Amino acid sequence: MSIRKRLTLILLSMMVLTCFLALVKGYQKSMHHGENLLDNELKIVAGVLIEQPLALTTNAAQVSSNSAQLLYQIWHNNRLLSGSSSLPNNCVNFSEGLQTANLAGQRMRVFVMRKNTRKVIVAEPMAKRFELAEAVILSAMLPMLWAVPLLAIFISFFVKYALAPLTRLSRQLASRQANDFTPINWQVTDEEIKPVINRLNDLFKRVETAYLRERFFASDAAHELRTPLSSLKINVHNLANKQSNSQNNQELKAMSQGINRLSNIVEQMLILGRTQPEQWQKQFSEQSLLTITQQAVSEQYDKIDEKNQTISLEGNDFVINGDEFTLTTLISNLLSNAIKYTPNDGQIIIKLASSNNDYSWQIDDSGSGMTEEQKDRIFNRFYRVGGDQHPSGEQGAGLGMAIVQHIIAIYDANIHLANSHLGGLTVKITFTGVKSD
């Protein structure tokens, strides 16, 4: 729920509750005052009747005897002179003053007045008072019921007006790209929003500095290392051709392997620096996943053949909007990992599948697999399962899966790691909504 709706509901609830409590309190006071007025009315009527001459009393009784709102009896020397026919004769036994009693099948408020030998009893049904109470409640509540929707509209409008700067800030932040660190450049007069904008601008500046430092340092360092490594590799190769001593050849071979490993790390670092989503999405075109997969397999088939592994490619081709370099790097890294960690005579299966608007590329191997903890850490830079002590004995830089994760972000795809039915690892990549027309 938004802050605006929450504030509107809270304010409206508080206002309705306050009005309700005021209504209850006002109703209680009004009823107490109303009862006093009605009791006084009974006293006044009784006083008028008791002062009437005997002849007029009889005629007046006949006029009012059928009234349902006010009932009475006039007694003289314990003899009923006149009164309402619905009142019983035992009313003469009532004591003087106000009291409540059951008469004529209903609850009544009774007032008894005595003067010399004359006694007057005036009664009023309690239902009349309840009707009056209902009328008071309705007359008080109806205006409030009509006012509640209007109050809700006004409160919502003013809350929206008060939160306008915060809403504007939220929309501006939501529309920003992930790599947009420009300051928020608009003036506000609200004391609550000013420090928020100032702190955000300060945070943007710091994050931009850290982002640029991280992004360019690795690629710049790797780029600077390429030339001396290439030169060193050539010199080692030339030296190996000139040497005939077996021991020296072994040392040069080990040196060459170390240089190759370092060169691989440099290339991976350069690729990692280049795989930024905003760079590649602008140059997407139709790409066949089957063709790219076949090309990656052919490029690494010597390694597969060397370990006498079996590889199969299943499923139908599908075309997506993408970039050839990033897709090739993605598939090559995953295939390379499967080859490395699958033992000799092992099995690798690649599957391509499509369902509705989802398209998946999956690779299974018969290697040793991963624990859940290793799956959680596999995308960290420079992390390798088992380090250099992995049973496969394969060397690596620990950057392959970090690059895979970067490329997954470019395509807004999903990657899922699971245990394979072959005994090793299953890596499944799902592309959603990227198929070309």
Would you list the DSSP string of 63-122?
Answer: HHTT-SS-EEEEEETTEEEEE-TTS-GGGGGPPSEEEEEEETTEEEEEEEEEETTEEEEE
Indicate if 133 and 57 belong to the same structural domain. Answer: yes
Q: Domain containing 94 — which CATH number? A: 3.30.450
* H-only helix segments in 317-365: 324-341
Residues 219/271/339/232 CA torsion (nearest 10 deg)? -50
Token match 């850290």: residue? 210
- Tally the C-alpha atoms within 13 A of residue 415's C-alpha that lie toward its C-beta: 22
Residue 65 and residue 82: Cα distance in Å, rounded? 8
Interatomic CA distance for residues 151 and 157, integer angstroms: 10
Based on the domain organization, do 126 and 35 belong to the same domain? yes
CB atoms within 10 A of CB 422: 17
200 lies in the same domain as 223: yes
Domain hosting residue 258, numbered range = 194-272
CATH of the domain at 201: 1.10.287.130
Examine residue 169 and state whether it is found in any structural domain, yes or no.
Answer: no
DSSP 367: S
Q: Do 290 and 265 share a domain, yes or no?
A: no
Cβ atoms within 10 Å, residue 75: 20
Cβ neighbours of 335 (radius 10 Å):
23
Residues 6+ apart with CB under 8 A from 190: 165
Please tell me whether residues 91 and 40 are part of one structural domain: yes
**Residue 235 is assigned to a structural domain of this protein:** yes
Task: Among 251, 272, 293, give the residue marking a domain's end.
Answer: 272
Of the residues 272, 305, 327, the one at which a domain ends: 272
Report if residue 98 sits inside a domain: yes
Cα dist from 403 to 212, 267, 303, 323, 380, whole Å = 18, 11, 21, 15, 10
3-state helix, strand, coil in the chain (%, to 5): 60, 20, 25
Q: Is 256 exposed, middle or buried (0-12, 13-18, 19+ CB in 10 A)?
A: middle
* C-beta of residue 351 within 8 angstroms of C-beta of residue 315: yes
Q: Could you give the 3-state DSSP secondary structure of residue 399?
A: coil
One domain for residues 206 and 301: no
What DSSP state is assigned to residue 104? T
* SS3 (DSSP) at 71: strand
Q: Token pair of 403, please?
A: 């690059």
pLDDT of residue 270: 62
Q: Nearest Cα to 91, choosing from 70, 107, 75, 68? A: 75
Amino acid residing at 53: P
Looking at the fold, whether 227 and 358 belong to one and the same domain comes out as no
pLDDT in the model for residue 219: 58
Same-domain status, 255 and 287 = no
In a domain, 177, yes or no: no
114, two tokens: 């005595």
310 and 233 assigned to the same domain: no
The model carries a pTM of: 0.47
- Do residues 273 and 406 lie in contact, with contact meaning Cβ atoms separated by under 8 Å? no
Within-domain flag for 419: yes
Which residues of the chain are modeled with pLDDT < 50? 56, 59-68, 436-437
Task: Report CA dihedral (187, 192, 196, 197) to the nearest 10 degrees.
Answer: 0
Between strands 310-315 and 347-355, the pairing is: parallel
pLDDT at 428: 93
Do the domain assignments include residue 306? yes
Domain assignment of residue 173, yes or no: no
Q: What is the pLDDT of residue 310?
A: 92
CATH classification at residue 394: 3.30.565.10
Tokens, residue 344: 């000799």
Q: Are residues 7 and 145 in the same domain?
A: yes
Contacts 24+ apart (CB under 8 A), 411-414: 411/320, 411/322, 411/326
**How buried is 364 (Cβ within 10 angstroms: 0-12 exposed, 13-18 middle, 19+ buried)?**
buried
Out of 246, 272, 298, a domain closes at: 272
Number of domains in the chain: 3
Q: What distance in Å separates the CA atoms of residue 41 and residue 48, rounded to the nearest whole number?
A: 11
Tens of pLDDT along 413-427? Answer: 899 999 999 988 999
Q: Looking at the domain assignment, is residue 77 inside a domain?
A: yes
Contacts of 151 (CB under 8 A, 6+ apart): 12, 15
Rounded to 5°, angle at Cα 339 from 417 and 330: 55
The Cβ of residue 111 has, within 10 Å, a number of other Cβ atoms equal to: 24
Q: Note whether 127 and 20 are same-domain residues.
A: yes
H-only helix segments in 243-323? 246-274, 277-280, 289-299, 301-306
- Pick the closest to residue 287 from 311, 242, 322 (CA basis): 322
d(CA 224, CA 266): 9
Residue (of 391, 426, 430, 436) closest to 413 by Cα position:
430
Max intra-chain CA distance, the chain: 157
- 17 with 120, same domain: the answer is yes
Q: Which amino acid is at 244?
A: S
Alpha carbon distance 291, 293 (integer Å): 5
